[in-house]
Structure 1
Amino acid sequence: MYRLLETRLMKRSESGFLRELKITGKATDFFSNDYLGMAQDQDFHAEVLQAIQEDPTLIGGSTGSRLISGHSQVAFETEAFLARTHQTESALLFPSGYIANLSLFSCLPQKGETVIVDEYIHRSVHDGCMMSTATKWKFKHNNLQDLEDKLKRTQGICYVAIESLYSMEGDFAPLKEITNLTEKYGASLIVDEAHAFGVFGYGLVHRLGLQNNVFATLITYGKAMGSHGAAVLCKHIVKSYLINFGSPFIYSTAPTDLTWMQLKMGYQYILNHPSLADQLQQNIQFFRSQGLPILSAKESPIQALAVKNIEQLLQLRDVLLHKGLQTYAVFSPTVRLGQERLRICLHTFNTKEDIRLLASLIQENLSL
């Protein structure tokens, strides 16, 4: 068995796609999801520390799943707060966005039903669908005609799954148009807002006023908020169904109350500091002004640069790191073969000097 595992790992290593854990150094961050810089915001940290000092029990273990001993008054109040803030009936907290998607897509779609997902949807959605007995179809990325063609072919219950902002492409879903299509064909739309929340207020579903048109919205807090955890925003009946049938929710130990308290404090911090999102957009626009052939949307904090030659991509990543700039080279199977890219994430704390250096080094090494 060990020889078999070694053979598989060697094959991946020879292809140049071997993954390894690495300690993040002190280089300039152009690769994390900390878009608003809250993971390193000392003022926000001071507020959280003050809350811990006032109530040290926040850091104690939850001691069980939410259905046993892991539920608490803090969790209850946080879910009520989220429902009010996002103007939805209910909210259900999860330890992470990955577990939330596993729960949604493993228990909602049943045998004889259909899930239609954007071909670039997050891996957690695919994994959740693998745990379901429903039929899964993919539609071409952001292609309304292909989605409608598949909606026409469905019979019975149908779910459509998209991201509002795609994590590897850095582009937006045509959210209003997809909402219109799902309503036209009676399908239930699930929107993952992991990379849009915080960057665009409370997410694009909220910003566009589509809460009553979307079956469920996933919000995660490990990105723009720099924290942890996730929430599914939905009707009361959907929340009750997930509590009763969502195995990943039922059998996961609940996070500490500190996670939920920090989440609530994060909302208030974002509300009190609108300059964070403004500064982020200024940095994005300055990066876009450098003239690189970027694949992504102009307002996205995720900016993807296509580099199909794998050796060139690795060399570029290493050159940037040598100059103190951390970016992320994306290979198969995260993206399709031939669609390799350099993933660049912009943040509030990136300086114009760092952005200018990043762009100039890319231009020099790719002969742009």
Structure 2
Amino acid sequence: MKHPVGQILSERLAVHQQNGLLRHLTLANQKVDFCSNDYLGFARSSALKLLIHQAHAEQAEPHNGATGSRLLAGQTLLAQELEEELARFYQTESALIFNSGYDANLGLLACLPKDGDTLLTDELIHASMIDGARLSYATRHRFRHNDLEDVEAKLKTARESLKKGQVFVAVESVYSMDGDMAPLQELVDLCEQYGAALLVDEAHATGLYGPNGEGLVVAMGLQDRVLARVHTFGKALGIHGAAVVGPAVLQNYLINFARTFIYTTALPAHSLLAIQCAHQHRKSHADTQVRLQKQLTYFQQRINHSLPNTTWTNSQSPIQCLILPGNDFARQVAHQAQQVGLDVRAILSPTVPAGQERLRLCIHAFNTMEEIDRLVEILQATLAGETIEQD
């Protein structure tokens, strides 16, 4: 039976397609991975898979699922002990597990800044942070990306206009679309100067920075000066779930006010054990970060030599972005790479601003130098307008 609204939905999709923005689900392929967030290769690690399997086989938890929210029937000793472990790992007082990084950001940003507060956000924060900010009743202002002068100007204005409200500043430590890093030390200093609280999304830094992958905040020794950090486990750690870490009062506050925590079924034991095992695996495999840095350095040397007249974002992280203005052009270059077995994806506007369309290339610990050579050769040939022979 055709629903009367179906025609309206079809028309909206048609417009989306005409604008070149229609998305499709595609099966995972066997191409060389230069697009996933599996920076350390943990998602494909047989050793981590075995560790999780063994932990689950030894687990006494009788239920397949959590059976309810943590506040209803889903609280377990495993969840409690894991949060205590995560707090120690991330060098803070408490951790609260969320089902995903999206849920964590949405819940945190929606409930922490209240009516009468001010929320200042970098213009390039994650969509999940933006959506959380939209659900908040706080006054929100965006500042120019990594622009400390703009941050300070807005902090001054917010502090002068507020009588009792709190000011919050929300950033990513490593930005997902540019791969560059927030000036965390300067942001912490400014927040303390103006009595603001800093919130840091560590999604693309978790596992990659710090002695054991604790993130950029810990790597810079700022963990006691940042109110809240969001650590996502579905990227470098190769599994799923997330946690908000910070002072004990923050955990208690989120348990009472974060709707994405209160009103969702908790993660099952298998997911909790996977989180536990992934952190153990990271601590005992520091060599993967060394290997990743080696491959990243090699990639940057190759593009500097072979692609000197191209434009790249200012990134020292595994996220390397080649600017290719225009959706059609970016899509065309990505297609050429895919035709020869390289999984390269174009990021199009409006996901990024018009004129900033790009290839978002992710370098991994498991990428070989031969694969990197092939990628650079294909980009060089395609940008020169040469015909590429398929493998």
TM-score (norm 2): 0.92
Q: Which residue of 349, 354, 358 corresponds with 1:341? A: 358
After superposition, what is the alpha-carbon deviation per residue over 1:40-66, rounded to whole angstroms, capped at 9, x for unaligned? 111111111111222374771001011
| Structure 2 residue aligned with 1:160 | 169
Measure the CA separation in 2 of the matches of 1:328 and 1:78.
36
**2:33 matched to 1:36?**
no
Q: Which residue of 178, 192, 201 corresponds with 1:192? A: 201
User: Is the 8 Å Cα contact of residues 52 and 59 (structure 1) preserved in structure 2?
Assistant: no
| Structure 2 residue aligned with 1:366 | 383
| Structure 1 residue aligned with 2:321 | 304
Q: Which residue of 251, 259, 263 corresponds with 1:247? A: 259
**Secondary structure at 2:224 match in 1:** helix
| Structure 1 residue aligned with 2:271 | 259
Q: Which residue of 295, 298, 306 corresponds with 1:283? A: 295
1:262 Cα deviation (Å)? Answer: 1.5
Q: Which residue of 204, 222, 225 corresponds with 2:237? A: 225
**Secondary structure at 1:198 match in 2:** coil
Measure the CA separation in 1 of the matches of 2:217 and 2:144.
21
Measure the CA separation in 2 of the matches of 1:294 and 1:144.
24
Q: Which residue of 284, 309, 320 corresponds with 2:337? A: 320
Measure the CA separation in 1 of the matches of 2:350 and 2:73.
39
**Secondary structure at 1:211 match in 2:** coil
Higher radius of gyration, 1 or 2:
2
- 1:280–1:212 CA distance, 2 compared to 1 (3 A): same
| Structure 1 residue aligned with 2:112 | 108
**2:80 matched to 1:87?**
no
Measure the CA separation in 2 of the matches of 1:298 and 1:136.
28
Measure the CA separation in 2 of the matches of 1:107 and 1:310.
36
After superposition, what is the alpha-carbon deviation per residue over 1:91-123, rounded to whole angstroms, capped at 9, x for unaligned? 100000100011111111111211100000000
User: Is the 8 Å Cα contact of residues 122 and 170 (structure 2) preserved in structure 1?
Assistant: yes
**Secondary structure at 1:289 match in 2:** helix
Paired AA for residue 136 in structure 1: R
**2:197 matched to 1:180?**
no
Q: Which runs of 5+ in 2 are unaligned?
A: 386-391
Measure the CA separation in 2 of the matches of 1:151 and 1:203.
26
After superposition, what is the alpha-carbon deviation per residue over 1:215-251, rounded to whole angstroms, capped at 9, x for unaligned? 1011010000000000111111111111111111100
- 1:282–1:110 CA distance, 2 compared to 1 (3 A): same
Measure the CA separation in 2 of the matches of 1:264 and 1:314.
39
**How many residues get paired?**
368
Measure the CA separation in 1 of the matches of 2:247 and 2:92.
7
| Structure 2 residue aligned with 1:169 | 178
Further displaced range: 11-20 or 145-154: 11-20
User: Is the 8 Å Cα contact of residues 35 and 301 (structure 1) preserved in structure 2?
Assistant: yes
Measure the CA separation in 1 of the matches of 2:89 and 2:59.
25
**Secondary structure at 2:312 match in 1:** coil
Measure the CA separation in 2 of the matches of 1:54 and 1:244.
33
- 1:340–1:59 CA distance, 2 compared to 1 (3 A): farther
**Secondary structure at 2:376 match in 1:** helix
- 1:119–1:51 CA distance, 2 compared to 1 (3 A): same
| Structure 1 residue aligned with 2:389 | none
Superposed CA RMSD: 1.4
1:199 Cα deviation (Å)? Answer: 1.2
| Structure 2 residue aligned with 1:216 | 228
**Secondary structure at 2:11 match in 1:** helix
Measure the CA separation in 2 of the matches of 1:64 and 1:345.
37
**Secondary structure at 2:298 match in 1:** helix
- 1:312–1:332 CA distance, 2 compared to 1 (3 A): closer
Measure the CA separation in 1 of the matches of 2:311 and 2:184.
22
After superposition, what is the alpha-carbon deviation per residue over 1:319-348, rounded to whole angstroms, capped at 9, x for unaligned? 111111011211123211221111000111
Q: Which residue of 227, 245, 249 corresponds with 1:237? A: 249
User: Is the 8 Å Cα contact of residues 326 and 354 (structure 2) preserved in structure 1?
Assistant: no
**Secondary structure at 1:212 match in 2:** coil
Instruction: State, as a whole percentage, how many aligned pairs show the same letter.
Output: 44
